[in-house]
Amino acid sequence: MNFTPEVVIKSPGRINLIGEHLDYNGGHVLPAAIDLTVTLRLRKKNSRSCTIYSKSIDDSFQVDLDKLEISSQEWHNYFLGVIHFTEQRYPGHISGFDCIVESNLPIGSGVSSSAALECGIAVALKNLFDIPVTDEEIIYIARDAEHHFVGTKCGIMDQFAVVRGKKEKLIQLNCHDLSFDYVPAELSPYAIVLLNTNVSHNLATSEYNLRRQECEAALEIVRKRYPVYEALAHIPKKIVQEHEKEMTPKMFQRAEYVIEENQRTLQASLALAKQNLPDFGALLFASHTGLSEKYEVSCPELDFLVKQAHHHPNVIGARMMGGGFGGCTINLVHKDHMDSFIEHTALAYQKKFQIELTPHTVKIGDGVQLIL
């Protein structure tokens, strides 16, 4: 499929420096949009159907606008979900269209290709059909599509970063009330290197939803006696410890991780403000240990890459990033030693798992944008 588009959208992936699995626990996170993007090209057509073609996977499908049903194909559901929830808020605006999707964002790798696609579709529909949808609504439409059509009960961090990302800025986001600040991403002389394990264990969705349930259950137990706490990340550790016997061991472990990670994220922001990059990096390593041992969302491939980074003299911090069970690690690597670090780690990884890793040196970019 090829055509002259009426609307072109570029929608970025995101990184998260620290604060993992905190968004649905009312905690603090430190994400940013990156310069790896999904591009969507669209034109209207005179019918009630849409043809969507993905160049990256060379596959297409049709959407009947009068029959939006959940599909068995995950990538179809991003479109179906966003169309459904946009239509729900702004009925009668959307009519038939063609769309070509292309991406240089690795899929299912913890850099939020899903939110990039969902927010990109929402902004594309807004512009193609002049829908007065706001940025905030786009964040929620994309999140609802993920919850109800794709099936991951995700938080709000990814959609927020994709929509509100700003060049060279990190977003200090409080996921409880969505207040946020942009802070300069002053990490020099260190660069951000993502190492994609190229594995994606299919536990990801079910385990993700299970973690969320465990956290909600832990919060409910504490709230029976302390209803003042509205989010797990806000509870002092001492109070969680008082309730240890009422929780399952897993629930208790998850709660401890959430509270500690929230503290680490706040400390990391302070370290960054003071330009204390070694402390900042050390908090990333500590975050990984928590994610791996207490929250149990890592996997041998991610643990191996973080361990390699830890032993490398020119890396000050590394950890798994995103939902987990595969995908990327994020590494802060001295800019003069990036190539040797990547080469060394790729060789070791190949030797250990017989898998090639894919490195990405990313820059912090703007959020989703209308190009045409």
Q: Which stretch binds ligand GLA (CB under 6 A): 3-11, 16-24, 252-260, 281-289?
A: 16-24
Q: Is 20 in the site for ligand GLA (CB under 6 A)?
A: yes
Q: Is 157 in the site for ligand GLA (CB under 6 A)?
A: yes
Q: Is 158 in the site for ligand GLA (CB under 6 A)?
A: yes
β-pair partners for 59: 54
Residue 235 DSSP SS3: coil
Whether residue 5 has a cis bond before it, omega within 30° of 0? no
Q: Is 303 a catalytic residue?
A: no
Residues 308-337 that bind ligand GLA (CB under 6 A): 322-323
Q: Is 141 in the site for ligand GLA (CB under 6 A)?
A: no
- Tell me whether residue 50 or residue 117 sits nearer to ligand GLA (CB atom): 117
Residues 23-62 that bind ligand GLA (CB under 6 A): 23-24
30, 37, 315, 326: which is closest to 193 by C-alpha? 315
- Other Cβ atoms within 10 Å of 254 Cβ, number: 27
The DSSP letter of residue 286 is: H
- Tell me whether residue 81 or residue 155 sits nearer to ligand GLA (CB atom): 155
- Tell me whether residue 23 or residue 98 sits nearer to ligand GLA (CB atom): 23
Virtual torsion, Cα 112, 114, 115, 120, nearest 10 deg: 120
Q: Are 110 and 320 in contact (CB under 8 A)?
A: yes
Helices (H), 44-178: 74-89, 113-128, 135-145, 157-164
Q: Which stretch binds ligand GLA (CB under 6 A): 15-23, 178-186, 238-246, 339-347?
A: 15-23
Q: Is 145 in the site for ligand GLA (CB under 6 A)?
A: no
246, 337, 259, 310: which is closest to 21 by C-alpha? 259
Q: Is 144 in the site for ligand GLA (CB under 6 A)?
A: no
Q: Which stretch binds ligand GLA (CB under 6 A): 54-62, 123-131, 150-158, 328-336?
A: 150-158
Closest CB 139 distance from ligand GLA, rounded Å: 11
How far apart CA 317 and CA 340 sit, in angstroms, is: 16
Write out the residues near ligand GLA by the rule CB under 6 A: 20-21, 23-24, 112, 154-155, 157-158, 322-323
Catalytic residues: 158
